[in-house]
Amino acid sequence: MNDRANEIAAIVSKHRERHGALLSILETVQRTNEHNYLPKQELVMVAKELGVPLSQVYSVVTFYAFFNLKAQGEHVITVCRGTACHTRGSKPLLDKVLHMLGIELDEDGMATTPDYRFTVHTVACFGQCALAPVIAIDGVIHSMVTEEKLTTMIEALSAHKEGA
């Protein structure tokens, strides 16, 4: 943890004088975090180093969707739960991927495998309803996803790491 504390102190001092320092600092801290998120103790370090209230830091973190408050897996699978996707079978797809990975969604609609290989979460709508059902893997949108297609993609991702 001490190394990480020094790292965070360095990030803060690099950005502190700049405009919008807090945002850039949080963004960098998240990016350099092992699991691409902002753990509570790292947010405390940021607040303390920068000398800003904890409440303000948390306000910023919860305002922007790109900040994660939970550890993220290497691969992030986003399943759309919008109406169009739902009608075209997004629920069975979601169940399938959760089953494959052996995890269950928490109250915020998110789940990560214990080995931090995969995170699954849902969104309200991708705005790509014509292509439903839509699933994003690591930010890449896949349209008209079927169970087979999904299985293949996830198996490929799992195999990749094991082979490496």
Partner 1 sequence: MDKKMVTLSVDGKTVTVPEGTRILDACKVAGIKVPSLCYLEDVSAHGSCGICVVEIEGFKRLVRSCLHTVQQDMVIHTHTDRVMRARKLNLELLLANHPLLCTTCERNLNCELQSLALQLGVRESRFERTKKSLLPIDSSSSSIIRDPNACILCNRCVEVCAKVQEVHAIEMMGRGLRTTVSTFFDEGLASSVCTNCGQCSLVCPTGAITEKSHESEVFDAIADPNLVVLVQTAPAIRVGLGEAMGLGEGSLVTGKMVSALRTLGFDRVFDTQFSADLTIMEESHELIHRLTSGGTLPMITSCSPGWIKFIETFYPEQLEHLSSCKSPQQMFGSIAKTYYAERAGIDPRKIRVVSIMPCTAKKFEAGRSEIDSAFSYWREQGSFTDDEYFCDVDYVLTTRELARMLQRIGIDFAHLEEGKFDDPLGQSTGSAVLFGATGGVMEAALRTAYETITKTTLDDLEFEQIRIGEGIREATIMIGETPLKVAVANTLANARVLLDQIQEGKSPYAFIEVMACPDGCIGGGGQPIPSTKEIRRKRAMSIYEEDRGMPIRKSHENPSIQELYTSFLVQPLGHLSHQLLHTTYVKRGEYPD
In the list ligand FES, partner 1, none, the entry touching 118 (Cβ below 5 to 8 angstroms by class) is: none
Residue 162 Cβ vs partner 1, minimum distance, rounded to whole Å: 36
Q: Which does 66 bind (CB under 5 to 8 A by kind): ligand FES, partner 1, none?
A: none
> What is the residue type of 44?
V
Element (DSSP H or E) covering residue 136: strand 135-137
Cis peptide before 39 (omega within 30 of 0): no
CA 7 to chain centre: 22
DSSP 68-85: -SS---SEEEEEE-SHHH
Q: Which is nearer to partner 1, 21 or 100 (CB)?
A: 21
Cα separation values, 143 from 27, 100, 158, Å: 29, 20, 21
Alpha-carbon torsion (98, 154, 142, 120), positive or negative: positive
- From residue 61 to residue 100, the character string flagging contacts with partner 1 as x (rule: CB under 8 A) and all else as - is -xx-------------------------------------
101 binding ligand FES? (CB under 6 A): no
Give the contacts of 10 (CB within 8 A, at least 6 positions apart): none
R_g of the chain computed on alpha carbons? 18
Contact flags string 118-137 toward ligand FES, x per CB under 6 A: -------xxxxx--x-x---
The stretch among 14-22, 27-35, 57-65, 80-88 that binds ligand FES (CB under 6 A) is: 80-88
Question: Considering CB distances under 5 to 8 angstroms, the limit depending on partner class, which of partner 1, ligand FES, none binds residue 85?
Answer: ligand FES
Which residues in this chain contact ligand FES in the complex, by CB under 6 A? Answer: 80, 82-85, 125-129, 132, 134
